[in-house]
Structure 1
Amino acid sequence: MAKLPKYLAGGSLALLAAGVVIGIAGTLGFDLAMEKTNTTEFCISCHEMETHPWQESLGKAHAASRVGFTVGCADCHVPKEFIPKMKRKIEASREVWHHLLGTLDTPEKYEQHRGEMAARVWKTMEENDSASCRTCHNSEKIGATEMINNMHQQALGSGATCITCHKGIAHDLPNQ
């Protein structure tokens, strides 16, 4: 029988195996946490999100499409790619902090901050060319009328992106 190299003797193999198991468990746990925190149920577990943006979104076009598809919070607010997703999750810690502080816990407080929150989301969408919209909407496959297609081509030609014209499609606009 072959003899183990010295660096694997004395428990190093057990330590290596434990490291692999911990690494796999950590990766699976991290992935599960990312999936759970991307659910609408998680997002609206904070009462400010359930009573304000979620309730108003139910009356909007994305609440349920003609074909029965419902858009969840993460579909628009959490990027699909790993690095942008992690950046957004880190930014979300500010939202958790403000939840704990009670910054948005009444409709009046929520309305007071709606403009700045919307501006942050719109800025991100302008910077990433409304990437979250484009995960579902493909301008070549929408089947819109010729007039709408022409309007989209003009808007795209001028550097506009989806959110430039479609603010208020999922949430009420700020009172400003």
Structure 2
Amino acid sequence: MSLEKYTPAWVKRIGLVTVLLIFVGGIVFWGGFNWALEATNKESFCISCHEMEENVFREYQNTVHYTNRTGVRATCPDCHVPKEWGPKMIRKMQASNEVLHKILGSVNTPEKFNKKRHELAQHEWDRMKKADSRECRNCHNYSFMDYTEQGDRPARMHPKAFDEGKTCIDCHKGIAHQLPQIDQHIGKQNEGALEISHGDKPKPAEDAAEKK
């Protein structure tokens, strides 16, 4: 039985061998493209430039996201690259701007980096806010939180924040990297000291004086 009459006209025009070569070439291209995505989505790639390795990566190593009792880690791409295909592609295209600034040497020294720290942090906070802290929720889904296992403060504040429509980054800035000189209502006031901002906001001077 001849299959010629069932063969599409466009296949006849270019030939079956050409079609097979295009098919194989497509597989090779897709495999290479996916390999490149995965290769650029690893912590080792993120810290391959000294701007990241000597600044934010060192800060991150001092946090619970890097080392903890359970050994569960959130690496750079876990927090900064979406897992969904569409948002991931958008983020990858945006990252081309970071390559440009690597070439220009915009933040190639700690002094330059710290000078732009607030601007860089604000861009990331805005991105996370817009996405409803999507990357945080890959691990910290509030729908499955057991408030009885949390401390008094988070068990009290989390339901309230969720009811008010707040997202993770509204309250949890500075959990993996040094905060720029900002204030957040649940965190430690940061005056630019080289430390990660955690804990309660310091009491006003008059309150501290009263306690004395």
Q: Same fold judged by TM-score > 0.5? A: yes
| C-alpha spacing 1:79/1:10, structure 2 compared with 1 (3 Å) | closer
Report the Cα distance in structure 2 between the residues aligned to 1:145 and 1:48, rounded to whole angstroms.
36
Q: SS of 2:51's equivalent?
A: helix
Pairing 1:141–2:152 present: no
Q: SS of 2:55's equivalent?
A: helix
Deviations 1:6-57 (A, max 9, x none): 6544752111111101110111111111111010000100110100110111
Shift of 1:66: 2.1
Alignment of 1:15-30 (within 5 A): 15-30=18-33
Per the alignment, residue 66 of structure 1 pairs with 69
Report the Cα distance in structure 1 between the residues aligned to 2:11 and 2:82, rounded to whole angstroms.
43
Q: Which range moved further: 25-34 or 146-155?
A: 146-155
Deviations 1:139-169 (A, max 9, x none): 3335313542221011112221111111000
| C-alpha spacing 1:112/1:147, structure 2 compared with 1 (3 Å) | closer
Report the Cα distance in structure 1 between the residues aligned to 2:12 and 2:167, rounded to whole angstroms.
61
Aligned alpha-carbon RMSD (Å): 1.7
Alignment of 1:146-157 (within 5 A): 146-157=152-163
Q: For this pair of structures, how many residues does the alignment match?
A: 176
Pairing 1:123–2:129 present: no
Paired residue type of 2:24? V
Pairing 1:76–2:93 present: no
Report the Cα distance in structure 1 between the residues aligned to 2:11 and 2:154, rounded to whole angstroms.
68
Pairing 1:13–2:16 present: yes
Q: SS of 2:95's equivalent?
A: helix
Report the Cα distance in structure 2 between the residues aligned to 1:8 and 1:26, rounded to whole angstroms.
21
Select 1:90's aligned residue among 78, 93, 96. Answer: 93
Report the Cα distance in structure 2 between the residues aligned to 1:159 and 1:9, rounded to whole angstroms.
59
Per the alignment, residue 171 of structure 2 pairs with 165
Deviations 1:86-123 (A, max 9, x none): 00000000001100111110001101111111111101
> TM (normalized to structure 1)?
0.92
Paired residue type of 2:74? V
Larger-gyration structure (1/2): 2
Q: Which range moved further: 4-13 or 98-107?
A: 4-13
Which runs of at least 4 in structure 1 moved beyond 4 Å after TM superposition?
Answer: none
Select 1:99's aligned residue among 82, 86, 102. Answer: 102
Structure 2 residue ranges without an equivalent (≥5): 183-212
- 8 Å CA contact 1:64, 1:71 repeated in 2: no
Q: SS of 1:38's equivalent?
A: coil
Shift of 1:64: 1.4
